[in-house]
A and B are shown apart, each in its own frame.
Chain A
Amino acid sequence: MMRTRSISLRLAIMFGLATALVSLIASVGLFMQQSAEFSRHSREELHGRYIIIARMAASNEGHGGWRRLTGKLADFEATDRGLHFVTDSRNPSFRFGTSLLAQAQFARANNGHDTIDFGGRTYSTFAGTIPAKQQRPETRLIIALDQEPLHQARRTLALGIIGTSLLTIIAVSGLGWWIARRGLEPADRLSTHAQRLGEGDLALRLPTDGLPSELEGLVLSFNDALGRLHQSHQKLSDFNADVAHELRTPLTNLIGETELALARERSRDELARVLRSNLEDLNRLRTIINDMLFLARADAGGIVSNLVLVDLAAECKRTTEFMEVLFEESETTVSIEGQATCCIERALFGRALANLLDNAIRHGAAKGPVLVRVETLDDEVAVSVTNSGPPIPESALPRIFDRFYCADPSRRSDGHTHGLGLAIVKAVARMHGGGVSAVNGVDNVTIGFTIARRIGVGAYQPARSGAQDAPSEVLLRGLSGKRHLARNGQRPARRLFDISHFHLRRKRASP
């Protein structure tokens, strides 16, 4: 079974079958044509002999001449055993030939060509009437030619054709197999190379030189795919190392401090200090784990589900107001320009924007203004944050949205960030069907994200205008019926943290 998977063998079999079909058609045609030609030739020969004999017979008018004629005919029959002559007449003395043949239906038969079976053989016959002349009455002359040699010739022809065809099929199949093997040699070489790939060195690629054009595209694409795999493997390795670092550091602190605290008698104050320190590390762990789970689910194709139609400028205002004290601390002014409405999950949007604003405050020039811009594009809305300050190095620009990426490693772990802020912005954008961008200006940096406008079509629950809390109410009503709202018309229970409620849905990985 496995053998038929070989392309060479399959090609050979297909060549063989094709040849068989072609030779069948050719052989049948040739045989029919040759066979008809044999028959025609045989009839012409019969007719020719009849004309000669008939002419000789027609000139005979007496018994003497007739006897000489029949003598000759007997001689002919003796030399060519397949040939028989029969004459039939009212006068018995003008009769000649094999009695059984004579008994045959010749008397009643029509003149001309016919075929009869006699004595287990087939004869081709020609019959004609020789007009009466003097003593000789009208006489029928029949010449019968045994068809056996003709059949023999046909059999020989058929055998020849079959033999030739078989030899041709075998030859073509064999040649086909050889040609296929030769033709597929580059593929064999590739497969040998491919077997060596991945043995510890992900940088290896398939050779592209000397490849036939048919395989070149495949190999180039394959090499590209290998390149992407290599890159993502590399990223994953880096990511694992970063995660290990981010998680191990607080764990080490926790274990060490706890062990140290328990090693001797400690005062109440000392133990309380250790517990407080531990709590800080535990909260740090919780934040990292929650953020990583959030990113993992975004990677797995999570998309937003609790979409509400909102005025984005108002959402931006809400978030900037929240961060107002930070702007005041850094003596930075923040302004919002532009206008757009879009369906978003408010908590996710706020989280992304807060991360961008935090990034702007952290990395922007001191006292430099920060601008939040909301724009409506063709099928997206864009939200960007511009802070004045030195540009991000061009080499770092494409990587700032990577997890744990830090252009300046010395700034890592300052207590508040763990390098996932912009990665979360990217995840939020992707969950909203959008993307991210980072652009250097002359003296400023703009980092932003987009949201697909179509994402909310048919999915959003419109908020009542002017009511800040309306979307949450709508959300909760959607979840649990009217119970929450029925209670004295009070605000429903609000979730205090963990904003990541969204469907886990498999989505086509966007390129």
Chain B
Amino acid sequence: MFEEEDLLPISALSQLLYCERRAALIYVEGLWNENLYTAEGHHLHDRAHLSDSEVRGVLRIVRGLYLRSLRLGLTGKADVVEFHRLREDMQNGTRIEGVSGFWRPFPVEYKRGRLRHEREYEVQLCAQALCLEEMLSVNISSGALYYGKTARRLKVAFDDNLRRETEEAARSLHDLCRKGETPRARYEKKCNKCSMRDLCMPKTTGVKRNVMRYLNRIVESDSGEES
């Protein structure tokens, strides 16, 4: 069990699965800091404008719910959690304060772009489900990724494999942050699209370059010109 102050953001899981070094640069090196304030701005903005719920008969749509899991050591916020009203079935449902009946939570995570299968997004969504399960003592079998550009939903089942992967990712994330070491860069094609590229310098730091040799080369070329 984790203490509250040791919780790490759920969104870090998808960073970690995308690239361990990227996650370390952000969460160990604090290199996102410059943007933290803007992020906090958005955060407040979200809370002010989106923390509301909408009721459509048997469906309640709640935005901006705070989530956490002390078991996995995660914290975060769900874009949308839908609560589907159940008929008499308290086995798979949860109570909602001030509302009658039993409800089944169904997390929905918003992603930019068009529909695509990305394991790291599925893990991120699953982590939200695990938080909801822990907080509401309920079992959640599925959720969805919503792709804004094409307005399409991808349903995600929280099967044993995905759950195991999510728990493993949470463990590696905590290991990474505890060790405080940043993994060495490995230049790949995906680096070209990565927003952390300038800070990571994969082409410079990835290959073990010999700085002493670089300096000696300078000295030799300078003194070579003289003779």
User: Do A and B make up one complex?
Assistant: no
Q: List B residues at the A interface (Cβ < 8 Å).
A: none
